[in-house]
Amino acid sequence: MGITSSNKVVDRSEVGCDGEFQVTLALTAAPDIIENPTDIVLVLDRSGSMSGVPLAAMKEGSNTFIDIIQQATDDGSGSGDLGSGTRMGVVSFSSSAVVDAPLTASVSQLKGAVDALTAGGSTNHGDAFAKATQLLETGTNPVKVMVLFTDGNTTAGPPPAPIAAQARDKGIIIYCIGLVGSDGLDVSALNNWATDPDSVHVAIAPTPQDLEEIFAELAANLTKPGATDLKIVEQLNPDFEIVNIVTPAKGTVEQQSDTQLTWKMDSLGVSGVESATLAFRARHRGVTGGVKQVNQSIQYSDAQGNLVDFPDPTVNVKCDVVVCAEPCPTPVDVVAERCSDTVVVDVGDVQLGGQGRVIQLELTVKDVCPNRRVALGVMLEEVGPDGKTEPRGVKVFTLPAHTQPGCRDVQVQCIRFVVPEDVSLWGKSLCDTRRFQVQVIAQAMDGEFRCL
């Protein structure tokens, strides 16, 4: 069956500037259907929206699929039927589903069932999954595959997701082929129904003319004998660098640069179903944030020509702009000379700001766009035991405009208030706990509007 699944995931969806995350590549392969006879059921949508060109394209694609499976399993008997123990059936559905051809090796019976289909009625995916599962359970082969083709949303019958899940729980591998029609296509539903990962088990045909190629590609992958001489070349986005590679349990890894590595394996899934993973850590090293694709490119090849499509994960890099609203006082250098037990230094004049406790606040202004100044007002009140409040200060700042690409979060630090130790206020003593309230107002100052 060749490469049956491929995946690529990251362990974090969000990191800070210079943050790290782990990338994991995964592959699963299995022997071909000659060594592992397979029961396959084509589950074909013949609802009313399939009339005309879509139905004709589906029939052509299905017959191509049958031909490729027949050629791959040909046992040399000259019968022209499926060989090596593989069997195939056909289930079609509209308002309800029916078995058009039981599990059989007869190519003429299979093609006759496909060619006889006519379009009409609603779309009952739930019954389609149920009938196909029942048909596969009549087979004796250990590997069971369901190939669903549909062009629309569910409009009749029970919810299909639980029925598809039951089929997967029984070990049935589900592929979904979707055709974008006049009513659109619920791709998320196909992803939900199909065996994971979606990138391997879900294919979308933008037009009916693309269907035959997709059916042919799927049939070709099902008939390939595992994989040998595997090579995966991983090239990261230049905003990231590879910082550590975990030695894989299978194969070898060579790092060509700080953004590129090559993973090689002699074989995978030749004698039985087999999986392999490679994990490595990557670090953000760019100067800009935002949602970034982890990969610049990833290339796969093997001796059998398996078609492998890895997902393209993204990471949201948060690089906040930091504004210090009130700079710290200028330090005065003090030197204690050797063997001196006293140091007398005049540190200069200090402007009296108030007597009492110092409260230092920090906050983040969200989504500040480039070249936009922000007016920021901060109000501090003290809360008495009776719930009444007493003003303790108001500060107003103008945050300078940033020039980073895209709207950014601006972190404001060092907003200081000095609150007096007013022992007469509400009868407090110097060591009492004090409670305060802070209110913040932020307003963009710059815009494109002009009054003409």
387-417: pLDDT as tens digits = 888 888 999 999 999 888 778 888 998 899 8
CATH of the domain at 302: 2.60.40.680
* Tally of CA atoms within 13 A in the half-sphere of 297 that contains its CB: 4
Whether residues 55 and 184 fall in one domain: yes
Tokens of 127: 């019954």
Please give the share of the chain, as a percent, with pLDDT higher than 90. Answer: 46
Report the distance separating Cα 309 and Cα 6, nearest Å.
Answer: 7
**∠ CA 39-45-50, rounded to 5°:** 150
Q: Residue 449: inside a domain, yes or no?
A: no
pLDDT over threshold 60, residue 154: yes
Give the position of tokens 């392969």. 29
Return phi, psi of residue 127, to 5°. -65, -30
Return phi, psi of residue 369, to 5°. -80, 160
Supply the pLDDT for residue 241: 95
Give the position of tokens 């030695």. 247
Query: What band does 205 get if pLDDT is binned at 50, 70 and 90?
Result: confident
Tokens of 163: 């029925």
List, for residues 264-315, the tens digit of each pLDDT value.
999 888 766 678 999 999 999 877 788 999 999 999 998 878 888 888 899 9
| CB atoms inside a 10 Å sphere around CB 144 | 22
pLDDT over threshold 70, residue 174: yes
Supply the pLDDT for residue 176: 92
Whether residues 197 and 238 fall in one domain: no
* Structural element, H or E, at residue 31: none
Q: Residue 345: inside a domain, yes or no?
A: no
CATH of the domain at 142: 3.40.50.410
Q: Are residues 432 and 385 in contact, defined by beta-carbon separation less than 8 angstroms?
A: no
Whether residues 134 and 101 fall in one domain: yes
Whether residues 212 and 235 fall in one domain: no
CB burial of 195-227 (b: ≥16 within 10 Å; e: otherwise) equals: bebbbbbbbebeebebbbebbeebbbbbbbbbb
Closest CA to 202 of 218, 216, 213: 218
Whether residues 217 and 98 fall in one domain: yes
| CB atoms inside a 10 Å sphere around CB 241 | 17
Specify the number of domains making up the chain. Answer: 3
Whether residues 439 and 379 fall in one domain: yes
CB burial of 260-269 (b: ≥16 within 10 Å; e: otherwise) equals: ebebebebbb
Q: Are residues 202 and 217 in contact, defined by beta-carbon separation less than 8 angstroms?
A: no
Q: Are residues 239 and 284 in contact, defined by beta-carbon separation less than 8 angstroms?
A: yes
Q: Which residue has the higher pLDDT, 325 or 374?
A: 374
Q: β-strands 295-301, 227-236: how paired? A: antiparallel
Q: Poorest-confidence range of 226-235, 338-347, 363-372?
A: 338-347
Q: Residue 451: inside a domain, yes or no?
A: no
Supply the pLDDT for residue 450: 63
- The arithmetic mean of pLDDT across residues 102-112, rounded, is 95
Closest CA to 74 of 43, 103, 107, 101: 107
Give the residue numbers spanning the domain of 394.
322-329+353-444
Return phi, psi of residue 189, to 5°. -65, -45
Whether residues 18 and 57 fall in one domain: no
Q: Residue 343: inside a domain, yes or no?
A: no
Closest CA to 90 of 149, 164, 162, 177: 149
Whether residues 164 and 67 fall in one domain: yes
Does the pTM of the predicted model rise above 0.85?
A: no
Where among 318, 343, 362 does a domain terminate? 318
List, for residues 320-353, the tens digit of each pLDDT value.
766 667 767 788 888 888 888 888 888 888 766 5
Supply the pLDDT for residue 271: 62
Whether residues 211 and 232 fall in one domain: no
- Strand arrangement of the beta sheet that strand 87-93 belongs to: 97-104, 87-93, 38-45, 143-150, 173-179, 202-205
Q: Residue 369: inside a domain, yes or no?
A: yes
Return phi, psi of residue 309, to 5°. -125, 105
Helix (DSSP H) and strand (DSSP E) numbers for the chain: 7, 23
Q: Residue 340: inside a domain, yes or no?
A: no
Q: Residue 149: inside a domain, yes or no?
A: yes
List, for residues 17-62, the tens digit of each pLDDT value.
888 999 999 988 876 666 678 899 999 999 998 888 889 999 999 9
pLDDT over threshold 70, residue 430: no
Give the position of tokens 């990833």. 298
| CB atoms inside a 10 Å sphere around CB 360 | 10
Please give the share of the chain, as a percent, with pLDDT higher than 70. Answer: 90
Supply the pLDDT for residue 203: 87
Return phi, psi of residue 128, to 5°. -65, -45
CATH of the domain at 369: 2.60.40
CA distances from 174 to 168, 169, 429 (A): 7, 11, 74
Q: Poorest-confidence range of 12-21, 168-177, 193-202?
A: 193-202
Whether residues 165 and 250 fall in one domain: no
Whether residues 97 and 19 fall in one domain: no
Where among 156, 188, 222 does a domain terminate? 222
Q: Residue 346: inside a domain, yes or no?
A: no
Where among 206, 222, 238 does a domain terminate? 222
Whether residues 378 and 437 fall in one domain: yes
Supply the pLDDT for residue 394: 94
